[in-house]
Chains A and B, each alone.
Chain A
Amino acid sequence: GAVVSQHPSRVICKSGTSVKIECRSLDFQATTMFWYRQFPKQSLMLMATSNEGSKATYEQGVEKDKFLINHASLTLSTLTVTSAHPEDSSFYICSAAIRRETQYFGPGTRLLVL
């Protein structure tokens, strides 16, 4: 089946630093990748949708200058949390899709900002 990886799986950083999270589709080419955020006891929230070679589409309330998304190839998308603060601590999950009907999810990245 389609496999999506994320790296790192867990990261702890100091407030004010930037953190990059990678999302890779290992055995298929994903034209669309999605980034989600999940706070404790809350549902997953879509942050942005990115298509290869074009700018990401951000959901309302998500700051595009803070959460930089680069979909450089059909197998790689990166999310950079710039100038991270404790309130950015969350579980970040990416998914990749060949067609919009099926999203394959990565294992997630747990970010803790001290």
Chain B
Amino acid sequence: KQEVTQIPAALSVPEGENLVLNCSFTDSAIYNLQWFRQDPGKGLTSLLLIQSSQREQTSGRLNASLDKSSGRSTLYIAASQPGDSATYLCAVDHENNRKLIWGLGTSLAVNP
């Protein structure tokens, strides 16, 4: 059974810091992995999608890496800003049934 774990559960940093969020999954048979952002009481915004054959994806200040064999992904946020404060969710699309399995998220607070 695929399980997704995100560490840390919460993170508070001063503005301007570079930071890394971690996601691990137990079954390496994935189709892709996605990182999402969720603002309080709101829906999800897709940030980055990494196909199983890819190693990383970049969008602006965000960089996501994928090591499928070790079951790990990291989301790197450069020069963090208060507007980055949100919950970041990792989800894997399990190869066999192609449905998303979600982590609990990392709650990020970037302080001015």
Please report A residues at the B interface, Cβ cutoff 8 Å.
4, 6, 34, 41-46, 49, 91, 93, 95, 100-108, 110
Say whether B43 contacts A43, CB under 8 Å.
Answer: no
Within the complex, the shortest CB–CB distance from B75 to chain A, in Å, comes to: 16
Given known pairs A42-B104, A43-B105, A44-B89, the reply for A100 and B98 (CB within 8 Å) is yes
Identify 5 new A-B residue pairs, CB closer than 8 A, beyond the known A44-B89, A105-B44: A42-B104, A45-B102, A105-B36, A107-B42, A108-B42
Query: Which chain A positions have C-beta within 8 A of B98?
Result: 100
Tell whether B99 is near chain A: CB-to-CB under 8 Å: yes
Say whether B41 contacts A110, CB under 8 Å.
Answer: yes
Chain B count of residues within 8 A CB distance of the other chain: 22
Say whether A107 contacts B43, CB under 8 Å.
Answer: yes
Say whether A46 contacts B99, CB under 8 Å.
Answer: yes
Say whether A43 contacts B44, CB under 8 Å.
Answer: no
User: Please, how many angstroms separate the alpha-carbon atoms of A105 and B104 in the complex?
Assistant: 17
Query: Which chain B positions have C-beta within 8 A of A103?
Result: 46, 100
Tell whether B103 is near chain A: CB-to-CB under 8 Å: yes
Say whether A102 contacts B43, CB under 8 Å.
Answer: no
Within the complex, the shortest CB–CB distance from B55 to chain A, in Å, comes to: 18
Query: Which chain A positions have C-beta within 8 A of B104?
Result: 41-43
User: Please, how many angstroms separate the alpha-carbon atoms of A102 and B91 in the complex?
Assistant: 12
* Interface pairs A-B: 6 shortest CB-CB: A107-B43, A105-B44, A43-B102, A44-B102, A108-B43, A105-B43
Tell whether B49 is near chain A: CB-to-CB under 8 Å: yes
Tell whether B80 is near chain A: CB-to-CB under 8 Å: no
Name the one of B36, B49, B89, B105 contacting A101, with C-beta atoms under 8 angstroms: B49
Tell whether B32 is near chain A: CB-to-CB under 8 Å: yes
Interface residues of B in 26-78 (CB under 8 A from A): 31-32, 36, 41-46, 49, 51
Interface mask (B81-112 → A, CB under 8 Å = 1, otherwise 0) = 00000000101010000111011110000000
User: Please, how many angstroms separate the alpha-carbon atoms of A19 and B29 in the complex?
Assistant: 38
User: Please, how many angstroms separate the alpha-carbon atoms of A7 and B70 in the complex?
Assistant: 41
